[in-house]
Amino acid sequence: MWKSSLWASIAGILVICSVFLFYFTAQFSEEFTGGVSISLTSQANTENIQEDLENFLENQGYQDTHISVNQDQEELTIKINADLESDEKITELSNDIQTFLLSNKVIQSTDELNGQTLIGPSVGEYMQSTAFKALIVGIILMIMYMLFAFGKIRKEIPAEVLVSTVFCVLVFDICVTLGAYGIWMMLNKTVQVDTIFITALLTIVAYGINDVIVIFDRIRENIIKGAKDKSMQIASVVEESLWQTMRRSIGTSFSTLLVLIGMFAFSGGASILQQFAFTVGMGIIISTCSSIFLGGSCTNLFMKVFKNKDSKK
């Protein structure tokens, strides 16, 4: 706690770097942009299928398309994100892709397609709006829960300290998780931002808030215990509270991570489960670190700031 300013500064730098990293590497799925997703089983040579398909679509007049190809032992999945002006254009894109697959003998007939999803621009806009609303509603519900959970804590720790600290921790958890996901998208072009990613972010928000509440509650208890000690410093109280709750925080996070590691390792390449496990897993690691280093540091700093303001009054 004697290096609170240092930890807060490091956190600020990480947030800025993570936001820029995510912004420049973000690849949105066809759910948000509109496009076509096709899955098929094929024994043909598909080594250069992505490059060949990109050249084919460019010759057909499609611009600004993003193609990702994911192949495992059982299935080949092709996803094309395209910024097209109408739902009819999405249908034309789907037909052109099938023509490409037939002409290159990737499939012998359209009956070999296991599944096909077409998402027009209107649906993409609706999905973007729905995902944004889900985030907002989720955060509002978390705030309502905080008001209930912080009922006793507010008697010993000012409400403005609680709100400011939780806000900083949540911003850090979300932004640094975005940065970690951005690195994965940079290394694996099949990984994209979709509704599963939004769900994982909401999970991280709930997990991070609960961790901070536990630490705040222990700080409250230690403030009450040391109320008669006039020489007690808030930094010492926060430091002691963090050490007392650290074993619980790390133990809970580690046990959850074991499950997520299993999900990530055995769910297949870039699958829905793998993306969820990666995002939540990184979020848990980040939220655990932030609750220990950033949460305590912010509490220490904000307690001093608001205490000085009250003394001036």
pLDDT in tens, 18-35: 999 999 988 887 777 778
Q: Which single residue is written with the structure tokens 């080949």? A: 76
If asked whether residues 41 and 170 sit together in one domain, one would say: no
CB neighbour burial string for 62-71, b if at least 16 within 10 angstroms, e if fewer: beebbbbbbb
Residue 231 has pLDDT above 60, yes or no: no
Q: How far is CA 152 from CA 143, 157, 248, in A?
A: 16, 9, 21
Residue 291's domain comprises 4-29+124-312
Residues 218, 237: Cα–Cα separation, whole Å: 9
If asked whether residues 69 and 180 sit together in one domain, one would say: no
Mean pLDDT rounded to a whole number for the chain:
80
70 confidence band (pLDDT: 50, 70, 90): confident
Bridge partner residues of 113 (DSSP): 40
3-state secondary structure of 78: strand
If asked whether residues 246 and 305 sit together in one domain, one would say: yes
If asked whether residues 135 and 187 sit together in one domain, one would say: yes
Whole-number pLDDT of residue 208: 77
The number of domains in the chain is 2
Whole-number pLDDT of residue 229: 58
pLDDT digits (tens, 9 = 90+) for 250-274: 888 888 899 888 888 877 655 778 8
Residue 310 has pLDDT above 60, yes or no: no
For range 133-155, the mean pLDDT:
74
pLDDT digits (tens, 9 = 90+) for 270-309: 577 888 899 999 999 998 888 888 888 888 788 777 665 5
Residues 24, 26: Cα–Cα separation, whole Å: 6
Residues 240, 41: Cα–Cα separation, whole Å: 59
For range 129-146, the mean pLDDT:
77
Could you tell me what percentage of the chain is helix, strand and coil, using 3-state DSSP and rounding each to the nearest 5?
70, 10, 20
Whole-number pLDDT of residue 278: 92
Whole-number pLDDT of residue 20: 94
If asked whether residues 47 and 179 sit together in one domain, one would say: no
